[in-house]
Structures are given as structure tokens and as C-alpha cells.
Chain A
């Protein structure tokens, strides 16, 4: 009999590839202390606003150390309901149509576990957030990647959806604005996607975590379109807009029957999100909007700076309408996205993430996060310019 401890690992977990980000993280970690400028992060550089942190301290001082309802504090669900109605135009009952989770990641995991039978097919646009495809595989479902393209500014089109659709497709996973491309869809494009979902009877998981960071036009939630609320799980959280990544607070809203199914998984797996973090999230919703606007304005200007610099350097880069990621095309350098990222890190000490970490369709691109101070962005772009020049690329 083998003594290899690997024999205990479930086969579908063993078969799951490690995140491409993980390899790169380890490479960057080895360069500790070497003045690396990182554009490789996926979170704001702002610390959570003080009034939110102070609310958490106050909660602790007043003995808020217990479990909460499985669905989350009712005051928080009420505030979420009001916020979602005001900002997304969809009305959810706080009592049974909203659940507070440990980040959007947990909400997403609950959704996959609650709604996927083994063998079900889930469509998702790609490049996409690193967890989507693995989460689908962890519930023994089958992922159908729908490509998005630089020529469309990485918006998802109904045509691509239709081309990729297969019989048996049950769920469509959306993330608009998108990590890593910053791609968003216009209202017309969303309407066509919604029409396709109704036609094919798809359930939609809509991860709208970057929606407040939409720089041009207004964000349209697919849940707000006619006939969509009843087939949409609206997923959102506090990490990006309110600069609260480490607090791990997210939420899902949807029809009561579906939220109840997610709650079943949540109550056995997690019980509830941290009460202190929930209290902080409540404060963020009550008094945090001015800070969200302030941060968005900063990201907006940083976006303009980094996109302009990439294009000047000769790395073709569309202007992302949302999120805090630029996704330039690096093929003009003649390097693969992986070689570009590794060489740039080793030669000029700037960390970006190879596009293929976000799926095959990220080939030829890298993700550069502009949630970084101006000075750092300016210096990083100067270094990238030197790197591109030295690599003797065809960019000029």
C-alpha cells in the first residue's frame, strides 16, 4: 500500500490546477527587499476609512462578540436592501431575499453549491476572476468559457454567448465591470444578454463587486431588467468600493426560495459572517458614500494616467470603463505574457500579472492594477518604458 499522503486528497481537488497567480506571487515574494513596485494586487491601496474602523472598535467595546442570524444582522440587511434599491434599481426584502456572507467569494461558493448538480453546465466570460472556473469544477459542474475580446473593450456580447452556448447550459456567471479586463457592458448589451438568458432559461450569477468603480456611463445591473430579478442572484460586497477587503463581508440578493437554498449551505458551512465586520459594513453603508466617491475620483485619474502611459510606451491599452485594472496588449514586444511579466520583474522590478492567470483568453495581455499611488504608477511606467525599449520590441 502506498504511504504517499496525496492518496487522501479527493481526486477532483487533486486534478484542480493551482492558481497562476500563486506561482507569480511566490516569484515576487523571493524578491523581498528589492524595491519592487507592484501593480499585481487586486485590492485598493486605501486603508478602510477611519469612521468604519472606529465603528468596529465601538462594537467590540460594547460586547458585540456573538453569532448573528444566519442571514446576517437584520439592520445590515435593511441597509443593504435600501442601498441596492437606490444604486441598482432592484428591490429586495431584507427579511428573506438577502444574505450576508464572508466576502463575495463565499456568496459565489454558496451559489454554485446550492444550484449546481453534477454535470450541469455553467457559462462564464473569460478572461475572468481566478476562482470562477475552479469553483465550477469543485461542484462537479462543467464550465463553458465565453471569450471576450480587446476589440470590444472586453465587453461580453450576446453573439459570443450564443456561439458558445451548448444544450444543457443552466447558469451564466457575469462579472461586470470585470477583473482583470475592466470590461463592462452598455445597457443595450446587457439587455441583449438578458434576452438571451430568458430565451435559454438561464439562471444568472451577477458579481457586481466593481460596479461603484464605473468611470463612464452608468452601471446597469442585469437584475434590474424586466423578467431578470426572478432568475438572478445579485452578488456584491464591501471589499472594493469601500476599501474593506480584509473584513470579508459580501452579500447575495435574490428570490426568497433561492436565498433560502444558499442559506442552507451557509448555516452548515459558515453559520454567519463576523459580527464586528458586519457592524463595520453597516457603518460603511450609512456614512461611507462620500469616501467611495473620493476614492473613485482618484482611481479615475490614475486610470487615465496609466492607460495614456501604456499607449505612449507602445503597449496598446483600451481604457477600462470600470474596476481598477488596466489590461494592456503586450504582443508588440514579441514576448509571451509570462515572459514579459517575469522579465519585467527581474530586470526592472515591476510586478504585473500575466493575462493567462485569468484564463486562456488573457493570452497576450498582462493585468496592471492602478490602485496605487501616483508616484508609484509614474515610476512603474518609466521602468516599463525602459524594459520595452531594451527588449528591442516592434512597438515603435
Chain B
């Protein structure tokens, strides 16, 4: 496996110069690997993981998860509709699911009204969408592998032990 891909899978918290040292490569080689991974559409990009619950300005953002039932199409199945829904800026993620509904859509909007408007005006009016069930997120406890409330206590490992 590409050595840089391995480091990215581990959590990707290293800078390119740190990755170079860990993998025993030059920084230029790390960048080449990253470029190749981008070309191969394996590495799609960086995104910070933020806890904005204490940021007054950002706290107005509303997130919802929407269960969507759609009619599959001959030849394309769910793909064309899923792609069409995924292209909206409001949609953060979109998955095809097994079970009682077909698509699970993660949506973010500036306010409850804006998300509601997106669902009622954009999403549910698409031909082929049979029903939607919207759940607003109230509080986040863990985001992308990061615990929001404290996480592990500061390490109390002693500095020198046998």
C-alpha cells in the first residue's frame, strides 16, 4: 500500500514534513504521493473537525439527517437520484442504505427554517422521491472519531518508568 495512504488512514494528523520523516521520504516525494492519490480520486481533500457548539456565530447552524425513500430506475437503480440529491450544497453526505428507507442524507443549513425549506421545496419535490423523514440533530457527542466532551483525560503517564 502507498505509505502515505497508510498514514492518512491512521488519522492524518501529521504535516507533510512530519509524514516525510515518519515514512523516510523527502517532502517532495510525500507531495508526489499525495498528488497521485488525488489523481486516483482516493484522497479527496482535507477538512478540519471542529466543535462549534461554543461559537455563538456558528451555533446557529442546524444539522439534520433525512431518511429518503425513492423509486429506483431501470438501468441506473438509485444512482442517478442519489447523485442529483448529493449535488445540493446543503448536503454534507449521502448514503445508499439497506433497510426501511433508501437514502440517508446529512444536511446542514443556517437555520431550522432553511433546512425545512430545503426538504419541502427541493428534496421532496424531486421526481422519484416518495417520502422523507427528517431528524434534527440536538447535540453532538462524537465527531469523526473525536470525543467532544473532554475525551481522554490528560495523560497521567509518569515520565520515567522501568
Question: Could you give, for residues 109-143 of chain A, a 1 whenever the CB lies within 8 Å of some chain B CB and a 0 otherwise?
Answer: 00000000000000000000111000000000000
CB of B24 within 8 Å of the partner chain: yes
Residues of A within 8 A of B21 (CB): 305, 309, 378
Question: Could you give, for residues 25-66 of chain A, a 1 whenever the CB lies within 8 Å of some chain B CB and a 0 otherwise?
Answer: 100110000001010111101010000000000000000000
Residues of B within 8 A of A45 (CB): 155, 157
Residues of B within 8 A of A28 (CB): 159-160
Distance of B119 from chain A, by nearest CB (Å) = 35
- A45, A308, A374 interface centre (most CB from chain B within 10 Å): A374
- B159 pairs with A29, CB closer than 8 A: yes
Within 8 A of A (CB), among B120-162: 152, 155, 157-162
Distance of A308 from chain B, by nearest CB (Å) = 6
- B22, B157, B159 interface centre (most CB from chain A within 10 Å): B159
Residues of A within 8 A of B152 (CB): 47
- Selected from B18, B158, B159, the residue in CB contact (under 8 A) with A375 is B18
Distance of A84 from chain B, by nearest CB (Å) = 25
- Selected from B22, B160, B162, the residue in CB contact (under 8 A) with A38 is B160
Residues of A within 8 A of B18 (CB): 374-375, 378
- A25 pairs with B160, CB closer than 8 A: yes
- B162 pairs with A305, CB closer than 8 A: no
Say whether, besides A45-B157, A304-B24, A375 and B14 are in contact (CB < 8 Å): yes
- B14 pairs with A25, CB closer than 8 A: no
- A301 pairs with B22, CB closer than 8 A: yes
Residues of B within 8 A of A29 (CB): 159
Closest B residue to A28 by CB, please name it.
B159
A45 to B18, CA, bound (A): 19
Distance of A141 from chain B, by nearest CB (Å) = 21
CB of B10 within 8 Å of the partner chain: yes
A374 to B157, CA, bound (A): 17
- A41 pairs with B158, CB closer than 8 A: yes
Question: Could you give, for residues 269-302 of chain A, a 1 whenever the CB lies within 8 Å of some chain B CB and a 0 otherwise?
Answer: 0000000000000000000000000000010010
Within 8 A of A (CB), among B9-63: 10, 14, 18, 21-22, 24
Say whether, besides A374-B14, A374-B18, A375-B14, A41 and B161 are in contact (CB < 8 Å): yes
Residues of B within 8 A of A225 (CB): none
Say whether, besides A308-B24, A374-B18, A21 and B161 are in contact (CB < 8 Å): yes
- Selected from B6, B10, B24, B162, the residue in CB contact (under 8 A) with A21 is B162
Distance of A295 from chain B, by nearest CB (Å) = 12
Closest A residue to B156 by CB, please name it.
A246
Within 8 A of B (CB), among A284-339: 298, 301, 304-305, 308-309
- B22, B158, B161, B162 interface centre (most CB from chain A within 10 Å): B162
Interface range, A side = 20 to 34
Distance of B17 from chain A, by nearest CB (Å) = 9
- Selected from A130, A308, A351, the residue in CB contact (under 8 A) with B162 is A130
A19 to B160, CA, bound (A): 12
Say whether, besides A305-B24, A378-B18, A378-B22, A351 and B159 are in contact (CB < 8 Å): yes
Closest B residue to A298 by CB, please name it.
B10
Distance of B44 from chain A, by nearest CB (Å) = 23
Residues of B within 8 A of A24 (CB): 160
A129 to B162, CA, bound (A): 7
A29 to B159, CA, bound (A): 8
Residues of A within 8 A of B14 (CB): 374-375
A309 to B158, CA, bound (A): 25
- B161 pairs with A42, CB closer than 8 A: yes
CB of A171 within 8 Å of the partner chain: no
Distance of A49 from chain B, by nearest CB (Å) = 12
CB of A353 within 8 Å of the partner chain: yes
Distance of B133 from chain A, by nearest CB (Å) = 31
- A353 pairs with B160, CB closer than 8 A: yes
- Name B residues whose Cβ lies closer than 8 Å to a Cβ of A: 6, 10, 14, 18, 21-22, 24, 152, 155, 157-162
Sample 27 A-B pairs with CB under 8 A, ordered by A number. Answer: A21-B162, A25-B160, A25-B161, A28-B159, A29-B159, A38-B159, A40-B159, A40-B161, A41-B160, A41-B161, A42-B162, A45-B155, A45-B157, A47-B152, A129-B162, A179-B162, A301-B6, A301-B22, A305-B21, A305-B24, A351-B159, A374-B14, A374-B18, A374-B22, A375-B18, A378-B18, A378-B22
Q: Which 7 A-B pairs have the closest CB atoms?
A: A40-B160, A25-B160, A38-B159, A42-B161, A130-B162, A28-B159, A378-B21
Q: Can you add 11 more A-B contacts, CB < 8 Å, to A129-B162, A351-B159, A378-B22?
A: A21-B161, A40-B161, A42-B161, A179-B162, A298-B10, A301-B22, A304-B24, A305-B22, A309-B21, A353-B160, A375-B18
